[in-house]
Structure 1
Amino acid sequence: MQASLVPIRIVQQLPSNQDSADLKTIGLGDDGFEYALKRIEDHPLLPISEWMGYQLSRAVGLFTPDFAPVWLDEDTPAFGSRWEQAAQIGVPPHPVELANFFGGSMRQLNEPIFGVDAFLPNDDRHGRNFMWRSTSAGTVPLAFDFSRAWLITGLPFGKHPLQADSTTLAMWSYLKAQFGYQVPAQVFQKIATLPDEWLQRVLDAAPHQWIAGFSPKPTIEFWVQHRQQRCNEAMSLL
């Protein structure tokens, strides 16, 4: 899905009716699926930041919605995350929902998402920024929505560390106290041992229009030279 052989073209754009400050548009693709669209016009670095968040999540073994570059016209690619009917908690959440989706065995499945968030960093992981898919093997969380992560927060590799009053750390603190969440050390180990050329490949696979808003060399150098240090610093936040 990430590298479709047949380009997906958006045939209709509609205003989002979701309760989200960052998701402005839903697009209907010529493949018959709906996509949450993150467009260059929303922010020049928004599509590439979402691309990185999803790619990194997949690289360390997390589930995400299917995603791909989708084309608004012949020259304008947006980041498209396939819209699916997956569960989210209500507003305000019911205690039973919190226990079912964040407690028990769900803890070990949700924890790694915070590891990716702390590394990038992503300061906006709150209760409605979790989604769960029902599968034959059970319920699994989906890592999605990196609209306030990575390059969006600052070059060359995001504004780090997360602030103590960030939504992400507030949510982590709540889950740690309520359900005994623990630092997902394995995720940081996986990130640290990804190949040095991994990020270059991720950027090369993205539409060139998404890279036009920044110079990628310092970002790639940071990945190669400071990835382990960022992992250590991110781990100490959780």
Structure 2
Amino acid sequence: MPSVLGTNRHVVCKRSKPPPRTADATCIAINEQSQDRYLCKDQTSADWLPMVEWIAQDLARRCGLLIPDCFVVELEADPGVYMFGSKWEGGAEQYAPDIVGKVTNPDEFSAIHAFDLLIHNVDRHLNNYLYLQLAGDTVVKAVDHSRCLCFSGWPLPPPPPDLSSNTMRAFGVWSADAAWKKAVAEQVIDKWRLVKKSELQDTLDSLPPAWVLPNRRTDLLDWWESADWDARTTNVLGALP
């Protein structure tokens, strides 16, 4: 796969401003031509962070999840330094106790939860679901994957994440208002099994080289389609509520 650099998934921005208070965000970059905004993360807090965010977004899309578009973002003032940028979506609301019951695509919660178990995402707190107001509807998407894959060490711990994790605590909250749909979760796992190692390799090879640490690349590619990968995927299926 050709590099994303120089394509429409690589944006160069003149302006930036401080991010909201989050653990990993570097800035909000502003594309003055399109007026798009991107929540950006660099390698300051973890050298693997942009790669993991991009890979998780790519896998989420392949598994059928709704996610914001992501880009490689570069600031004119800092050429050659590439950040992961998640496109800022307007109309988003913060979590509130009544918002889950208003969501018009509630099955997405089950899909996201299955995916989080597959990538061992320990930080799907209630504001790492993106609640969008679209033409009078409340639509939920998944956002932020900075605490998954190699974050918890390699190989991945067995599923599910610890019950004290943000992911499992949030599950206990939203599942009180959005019915758990095991069949939807199983469809995500089926799609995960269809992702080929060659597709994952192509994605890695398309990224800025500084993002792709050789040991992380090897760990992920050696694991994908291995007996351990297959067994863990089966264990995720067994861990579903």
TM-score using structure 2 length = 0.84
Distance 1:39 1:84 in 2: 20
Q: Deviations over 1:154-206 (max 9, x none)?
A: 235x4443112111012113333443313311100110122232211121121
Is the CA contact (8 Å cut-off) linking 2:107 and 2:179 kept in structure 1? no
**1:152 counterpart residue number:** 151
**1:216 counterpart residue number:** 217
Does residue 45 of structure 2 align to residue 45 of structure 1? no
Distance 1:174 1:23 in 2: 26
Is the CA contact (8 Å cut-off) linking 1:118 and 1:235 kept in structure 2? no
1:197-208 matches, cutoff 5 A: 197-208=198-209
Q: Give the paired residue count.
A: 229
Does residue 194 of structure 2 align to residue 193 of structure 1? yes
Is the CA contact (8 Å cut-off) linking 2:101 and 2:177 kept in structure 1? no
**1:123 counterpart residue number:** 122
One-letter code of the match for 1:60?
A: C
The percent of aligned pairs where both chains have the same amino acid is 24
The 1:5–1:29 alpha-carbon spacing in structure 2 relative to 1, beyond 3 Å, is same
One-letter code of the match for 2:22?
A: S
**1:8 counterpart residue number:** 11
**2:80 counterpart residue number:** 75
| Matching residue within 235, 238, 241 for 1:236 | 238
Distance 2:135 2:198 in 1: 35
Distance 1:196 1:58 in 2: 16
**2:105 counterpart residue number:** 106
One-letter code of the match for 1:140?
A: V
Distance 1:37 1:82 in 2: 9
Is the CA contact (8 Å cut-off) linking 1:8 and 1:70 kept in structure 2? yes
CA offset at residue 94 of structure 1? 3.4
Other structure's SS at 1:123 match: coil
CA offset at residue 52 of structure 1? 1.1
What is the alpha-carbon root mean square deviation over aligned residues? Answer: 2.5
